[in-house]
């Protein structure tokens, strides 16, 4: 069997009806029952039937993606397959922590609901913004962000997703100024994102403080397998280091390119995206085409993923 890592998607992978053809699986159904009990509402119904506006509320989206991802991982685990390591993109890091035994599923579902709510409340609506920039070198993007930022109006590189695809985050005025500069410097595309909070930048410090306080209230364990964390792009297993990385994650960039490269350097041969949609599969192929790649979101894709790692 190939050495593989399970990687978990973040916010933006949700859609009404996701996992509809996986819900008959007993393990998946039980996972949604656990989520419903932890949250106190019917997450399965919202996931399957919407409305879309409700599913797209950050404090609903985050538990929905986590639950789908953990359900799919449990199915993989029941087949006897265990990854060498885990990683998650932004919100997906919480799914990775559940898979590694760091946080219980019930605690994680409640934690990401709170995380979503805290992110929403950290910056007033309309103050922050995010945008994707395609076709420029990372350093050019970092330099422009520094150049256009003022003392009270700043923008930062927030997600290093693939070579040539970086997301920026910050105050709306600074984001707009940066986009003008990126266009002038020859970016292939600049795409403002429809988000309600500017993630992975210092504007999220209030949310990070809320998260830190909440993390002190729940049981957190050392990881049973290495967790490659966003802020360091390297593996951690000690709970104290993982807690610190989780808090910093809200205010620091997601270093996904480095994470994938480090996983390969450490001997991983395939990356299996566990959860809805195939966003990470696309990113991972653009980072390194030599790595095996598959997604698990229903019985058919499960079978294909097992072929990849067999």
Q: Give the helix/strand (H/E) hosting 156.
A: strand 155-162
Task: Please identify which of the residues 90, 95, 149, 199 carries the catalytic annotation.
Answer: 90
* Known active-site residue 200: yes
Q: Give the helix/strand (H/E) hosting 159.
A: strand 155-162
Residue tagged 């097992």 (tokens)? 306
Task: Please identify which of the residues 69, 104, 169, 200 carries the catalytic annotation.
Answer: 200
Residue tagged 């919407």 (tokens)? 50
Write out the two tokens for 174: 């600074």
Residue-wise burial string across 115-148, b where 16 or more C-beta atoms lie within 10 A, e elsewhere: bbbbbeebbeeeebbbbbbeebeeebbbebbeeb
- 176-184 CB contacts, 8 Å cutoff, 24+ apart: 176/129, 177/148, 178/131, 178/144, 178/145, 178/148, 179/131, 179/133, 181/144, 181/147, 181/148, 182/133, 182/136, 182/141, 182/144
Cβ distance 64 to 55 under 8 Å? yes
Distance CA 238, CA 49 (A): 40
Give how far the C-alpha of residue 114 lies from the chain's centroid of Cα atoms, to the nearest Å: 16
Beta strand 4-8 pairing with 270-274: parallel
Three-state DSSP class for residue 157: strand
Write out the two tokens for 288: 């390194």
Distance CA 133, CA 281 (A): 19
Kindly list the catalytic residues. 90, 200
């Amino acid at each position: 069997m190939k050495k593989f890592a399970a990687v978990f998607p973040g916010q933006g992978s949700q859609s009404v009806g996701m996992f509809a053809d996986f819900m008959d699986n007993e393990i998946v159904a039980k996972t949604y029952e656990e989520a419903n009990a932890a949250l106190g509402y019917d997450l399965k119904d919202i996931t399957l039937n919407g409305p879309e506006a409700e599913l797209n509320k950050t404090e609903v989206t985050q538990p929905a993606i986590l639950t789908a991802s953990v359900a799919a991982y449990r199915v993989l685990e029941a087949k006897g397959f265990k990854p060498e390591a885990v990683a998650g993109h932004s919100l997906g890091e919480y799914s990775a922590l559940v898979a590694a035994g760091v946080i219980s599923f019930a605690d994680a579902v409640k934690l990401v609901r709170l995380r979503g709510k805290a992110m929403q409340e950290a910056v007033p609506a309309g103050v922050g913004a995010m945008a994707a920039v395609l076709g420029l070198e990372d350093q050019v993007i970092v330099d422009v962000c520094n150049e256009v930022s003022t003392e009270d109006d700043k923008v930062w590189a927030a997600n290093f997703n693939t070579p040539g695809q970086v997301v920026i985050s910050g105050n709306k005025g600074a984001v707009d100024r940066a986009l003008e500069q990126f266009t002038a410097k020859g970016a292939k595309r600049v795409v403002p994102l429809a988000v309600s909070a500017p993630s992975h930048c210092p504007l999220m410090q209030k949310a990070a403080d809320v998260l830190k306080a909440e993390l002190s209230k729940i049981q957190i364990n050392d990881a049973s397998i290495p967790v490659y964390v966003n802020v360091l792009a390297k593996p951690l297993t000690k709970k104290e280091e993982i807690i610190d990385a989780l808090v910093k994650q809200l205010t620091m960039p997601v270093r996904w390119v480095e994470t994938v490269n480090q996983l390969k350097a450490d001997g991983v041969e395939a990356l299996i995206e566990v959860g809805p949609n195939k966003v990470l599969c696309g990113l991972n192929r653009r980072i390194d085409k030599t790595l095996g790649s598959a997604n698990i979101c229903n019985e058919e894709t499960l079978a294909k993923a097992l072929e990849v790692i067999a």
